[in-house]
Amino acid sequence: MDPVKPEEISHPPMDQLQGLEYCIDSNPPWGEAIALGFEHYILALGTAVMIPSFLIPMMGGDDGDKVRVVQTLLFLQGVNTLLQTLFGTRLPTVIGGSYAFIVPIISIIHDSSLTRIEDPQLRFLSTMRAVQGAIIVASSVQIILGFSQMWAICSRFFSPIGMVPVIALTGFGLFNRGFPVVGNCIEIGLPMLILFVIFSQYLKNFQFRQFPVVERFALIIALIVVWAYAHVLTASGAYKHRPHQTQVNCRTDMSNLISSAPWIKIPYPLQWGAPSFDAGHAFAMMAAVLVSLIESTGAFKAAARLASATPPPPHVLSRGIGWQGIGILLNGLFGTLSGSSVSVENIGLLGSTRVGSRRVIQISAGFMIFFSMLGKFGALFASIPFTIFAAVYCVLFGLVASIGLSFLQFTNMNSLRNLFIVGVSLFLGLSIPEYFRDFSMKALHGPAHTNAGWFNDFLNTIFLSSPMVALMVAVFLDNTLDYKETARDRGLPWWAKFRTFKGDSRNEEFYTLPFNLNRFFPPS
């Protein structure tokens, strides 16, 4: 047997991911692009419905309030996505609601000045205004860090080895929204998971008129089948005598969104009244804004790879964070009960469909804005049981996590230093948030429990985020542990050309602003 050559057992590192049908600035035909945009819109509904559905009952709101908040959040998702794809990083990223804001929002809900209000509707409005005020103030963090280019300066301390755990845990850190939620209604969630894997992977070569229809629209095909199956179970009375929580997770008629939704409703700023401001609430909310910043940083880098683009230079990354801060400010003004961050599931769908086109995401933003104003039609799609979305998350979150691991190709993984940094930061990035989560479930408060509520919320929010913990551990170790002698092991020679906008000629193709705006905002 002939000896194996080294090139036969290794793969050369590649700046851009191969195998995509359409990259960031190439566009499918209009019909296909519109259908793919609708698919991204459907996927974005999961978070847009889940966050208000969880928070509004705690605030004293009714189904009508829930519908209005869902519509408003969906409307702002569309607006913020358009702003990000046009003027921010210009990557094909959906900007959706963020779970990072839940801890400080719950703290506001339980504020004694609000809980003593007896009238439920008045308590809901007062709480909403307090949340709005906190989000408006906290948004200044991302606006300042982004547009002042301070985040660009900070990101120069990042290297491929330091970014691996951050990007990986942007996906892996969401494991509790995957199969644990599928298990709440296994008879619906498991078929959705299996069908989505079969359609997107095993039948991806099936073509209709030389078009890979099953691969492109695996999500919609599987969703239609399982949603119809769930409706049959609901109509046949399969859940009539089951516990209430089982019915909420399985039935297709429990959201009450369609009956409560108006036919036409256009969200507008300050629709809930004038925001109220409290320094403690705002400071706690700043922790959520910082978490959103870190999670979106990892998500932007994953999106660039799945769009077959080069890693965004620090200037572009900082620009995107600034516009995301503008989006959070708009969320506060309109009242969405959430801030903004990059939708991880929609990044995963770029890889699943092998279409990383910016135009597709902009079309999906149009669907979000359109259906948020046509209440009944939007509520129809929003009534899909969340278990179905969780099944898809099992695949898409894992795909995004693997993009983070793919950055290891630019580093030396025969280095014990690198193995130590990656292993410890990945483990602590999963273990510390799990400790905070488990402690909170048992004690009904976080590990940080002092007389200063804002301080408790700040620490509990920070350490509940896996990417945040991973960034703190990985970047600290990478920049303090034998950092001068290990530049090549860390992947810095490859990383260097992406540290400036003009360091690589492809950056201009991917990240230049439209309408010749670079004349007024020259890249650094």
The 8 Å CB, 24+ separation contacts for 491-496 are 491/159, 491/160, 491/161, 491/407, 491/410, 491/411, 492/159, 492/160, 494/13, 494/15, 494/160, 494/410, 495/159, 495/160, 495/311, 495/410
Q: Which residue matches tokens 């898809």?
A: 392
Residues 6+ apart with CB under 8 A from 220: 35, 38, 39, 42
User: Residue 67: its pLDDT value, please?
Assistant: 87
Q: What is the pLDDT of residues 33-82, one digit of tens each?
A: 999 999 999 999 988 889 998 999 999 988 888 889 999 999 999 999 99
- Please give the average per-residue pLDDT across 250-268, as a whole number: 78
Average pLDDT across the chain, whole number: 90
DSSP SS3 for 487: helix
User: Residue 6: its pLDDT value, please?
Assistant: 65
Output the furthest CA–CA distance in the chain (Å, rounded). Answer: 83
User: Cα separation of 255 and 252, whole Å?
Assistant: 7
Is residue 435 scored above 90 in pLDDT?
A: yes
Residues 6+ apart with CB under 8 A from 524: 149, 152, 315, 500, 501
User: Residue 5: its pLDDT value, please?
Assistant: 66
Helices 63-87 and 30-59, axial angle in degrees (round to 10): 140
Q: Which of 21-25, 161-165, 221-225, 502-506 has the lowest mean pLDDT?
A: 502-506
